Amino acid sequence: VSSVILCNPTTCWWRAIRSERVFKDRSNPLEVLSEKELLEKLRFPRHAIQQLAFDLEEQLRPETSRNCSIPSLLQICLALCFFATGCFINAAADVIGVHKSTVSRIIHRVSCVLSGKDGFFQQCRIPNVIGAIDGTRIRIQAPSTHEPLFVNRKGYHSINVQAICDAKLSVLNCVARWPGSTHDSRILVNSQIHDAFERGELQGVLLGDSGYPLKPWLLMPFLNPVTAAQTWYNTAHAKTRNVIERCFGVLKRRFHCLHGELRMKPERVCNIICACVEDQMLEEPALEITEAGDEDRSGHYIRQMIAENIFSV
């Protein structure tokens, strides 16, 4: 940034003039370096670097292409160069021609992804969290059949929609088929996502509120915390779980029909809700009610161990 002083007979002031931005030509090490040079400088062969970039594409992909954003492959190359040589950040920046501050951010981002401490872990420090789960009510006109089933606890007719989202507010699973009077735990117990976790087909942990049953893969807050560790656990849990509330807010603002009242049959409303949720695993809309299951006692042990080992003072 350069500066200039402007003067006239009565006043004199200083004004900064922004310099023109300069974008350096970025070179791809996989195209420039030979196989031997890649092993010397990055410690990985060409095919291994390409496979690593492919595996981490989802986590490292830039959200926009503006300002010459750096693709995931070059981010991997920069991080590997620093890991392999322990060089100064300035030297790593010269590998593809970027500023040292950019290299510092890339090294931190790639390190978090490779260590599994990306997304939810940075927010709550609870390991293996893959999503937050909750339900939201979509207001509808009073249906002509089974009308009492659609009246929720707040007194209006609705569809109870269950959703799971990740740390980036992306919806991973959505169930839109239940009347508004249905409890959240009933929707979960009778969903495909519940059966997949119970069979061990899905690995990881979900965060839910106290309305859900406690499971080894579904953690809820302590209702009456008695230790400092449990209190800190509840604070981290609440701070992290609100991502699903923000996800519902973004979804309803983007598709305003979900924010108002849908004056259609419940079956058609379920289809509209599913259509508004993009890139998800959706269940077929249907209206039915069954009983929920009991709590899994092993969930109490897992939750207590997390509180004592991570949040103890």
Residue 81 has a pLDDT of: 85
Residue 136 has a pLDDT of: 94
Q: What whole-number distance in Å separates Cα of residue 36 and Cα of residue 57? A: 25
Kindly indicate the confidence band of residue 285, based on its pLDDT and cuts at 50, 70 and 90: very low
Residue 89 has a pLDDT of: 82
Instruction: Tally Cβ neighbours within 10 Å of residue 285.
Output: 19
Task: Tell me the per-residue pLDDT of 14-44, one tens digit each, with 9 for 90 and over.
Answer: 555 666 665 556 778 888 888 888 888 888 8
How many Å from the N-terminal Cα to the C-terminal Cα in the chain?
A: 47
Cα–Cα distances (Å) from 77 to 38, 113, 169, 214, in that order, read 10, 14, 28, 43
Structure tokens at 117: 């401490």
Structure tokens at 269: 């409303």
Q: Alpha-carbon dihedral of residues 77, 78, 80, 84, nearest 10 degrees?
A: 130
Is the pLDDT assigned to residue 287 strictly greater than 50? no
Is the pLDDT assigned to residue 179 strictly greater than 60? yes
Residue 282 has a pLDDT of: 40
The residue with greater pLDDT, 251 or 281, is 251
Report the candidate in 266, 265, 282, 262 with the shortest Cα–Cα distance to residue 274.
Answer: 282
Residue 285 three-state SS:
coil
CATH 3.40.1000, domain 122-283+298-308, yes or no: no
Q: Chain-wide mean pLDDT for the chain?
A: 80
H/E element, 305: helix 298-310
Mean pLDDT is highest, among 22-36, 90-104, 166-180, for 166-180
Report the candidate in 218, 173, 209, 188 with the shortest Cα–Cα distance to residue 292.
Answer: 188
Residue 171 three-state SS:
strand
Task: Tell me the per-residue pLDDT of 193-220, one tens digit each, with 9 for 90 and over.
Answer: 999 999 888 888 899 999 899 999 999 9
Report the candidate in 93, 67, 92 with the shortest Cα–Cα distance to residue 82.
Answer: 92
Structure tokens at 157: 């007719």
The residue with greater pLDDT, 14 or 259, is 259
Determine the average pLDDT of the residues in 238-243. 89
Residue 115 has a pLDDT of: 63
The residue with greater pLDDT, 7 or 269, is 269
Kindly report, as residue ranges, where domains of CATH 3.30.420 are found in the chain: 122-283+298-308
Exposed (0-12), middle (13-18) or buried (19+): which is 159, by Cβ within 10 Å?
buried
